[in-house]
Amino acid sequence: MSSADGNYALTYNDSGIYATVGASFQTPGGQTIQRPADQYKPFTAIINTASNYVTVADNAAQRRTTIKNQIAQTTQQLQNATTDAEVQKLHGVLTSLNGDLASTDDEVNQAAASAMVQDIQNRNDQQKQIQALTEQQNAEFTEAVSNYTAKFQLLNAPTVFPTP
């Protein structure tokens, strides 16, 4: 998480899917409050992890497609093989390709994992929005109390009642 930059989480919206929190906000009195980017590093770490998973899953899907095409070609060559040596060679190639195919992620598991990652991203975004709203509400409350105390001074002397 040390390489995570909290500023990224403040502006991340995944191509418009999520609301952008923003690096700052304005209070009702017009004061601009900068969000502490360091507090958003955990959100950036989750975003980076999810993005990495999507990249890995996409690459695995492309490899599976390539391997399936190679298996189909090798199977066709095997059907057309005329010598025992050629058949043995193609069986070896086919065995190797099947091993390569087995080593890539299962497509159904990829879909399930993608859904899980999306759920994680959604919960992460919800927490980010809650944190951002809490910061904004705290700043607005502090400003309101400050404005109130500036307008209405509390008496610091005891109240004196007239004596009859």
**Which residue, among 62, 104, 97, has the nearest Cα to 77 in the 3D structure?**
97
Is residue 164 a part of any domain in this protein? no
Nearest-angstrom CA–CA distance, 114 and 53:
8
Q: Is residue 136 part of a domain?
A: no
Give the count of domains, the chain.
1
**119 vs 42: CA distance, rounded Å:** 16
- Judge whether 14 lies within some domain: yes
| Alpha carbons 39 and 19: distance in angstroms, whole number | 18
Q: Kindly state whether residue 140 falls inside one of the protein's structural domains.
A: no
Please list, residue by residue across 41-61, b when 16 or more beta carbons sit within 10 angstroms of its beta carbon and e when fewer do: bbbbbbbbbbeebbeebeebe
Tens digits of pLDDT across the chain (164 residues): 457 799 999 999 999 999 999 999 999 999 999 999 998 988 888 888 888 888 888 888 899 999 999 999 999 999 999 999 999 999 999 999 999 998 887 766 777 787 788 789 889 998 999 999 999 999 999 999 999 988 887 778 888 888 88
Residue 158 covered by a domain: no
Q: Is residue 132 part of a domain?
A: no
Does the residue 148 lie in any domain?
no
φ/ψ (deg, to 5) at 163: -95, 140
Per the structure, the complete domain to which residue 29 belongs is given by 6-125
The CA-atom distances, in angstroms, between 60 and each of 56, 96, 113 are 6, 17, 13
CA dihedral 63, 69, 75, 80 (to 10 degrees): -140
- How high is the pLDDT of residue 116? 86
Q: Is residue 1 part of a domain?
A: no
Residues 6+ apart with CB under 8 A from 47: 8, 9, 12, 121, 124
* DSSP 3-state of 33: strand
